[in-house]
Amino acid sequence: MDTNTLLKRLVETESPSSDKTAVDRVAAIVADEARKLGAQVEFIPNQTTGDHVVSRWGGGGKPILLLCHMDTVFA
């Protein structure tokens, strides 16, 4: 999926912070895209809010950390 299509899909997927099921839906999209890029994906369960997604790619370079939230922030 190209970047613009992915961004549109993520933005259009409502995920209020208090709706675990909705936030987990966004996590599934993120995990699926990471897998398509060759990552090993792990979910870390969270009881009250969305599960965490850990994606790992192999390689010999220095590790990096990308940290973001997957809930909708209403203006």
Query: What is the amino acid identity at position 43?
Result: F
pLDDT of residue 59: 85
Instruction: Report pLDDT digits (tens) over 15-26.
Output: 999 999 999 999
**Which tokens in the block code for residue 11?**
């933005």
Q: For residue 75, count CB atoms less than 10 angstroms from its CB and return exposed for 0-12, middle for 13-18, buried for 19 or more.
A: exposed
67 strand-pairing partners:
none
* pTM of the predicted protein model: 0.87
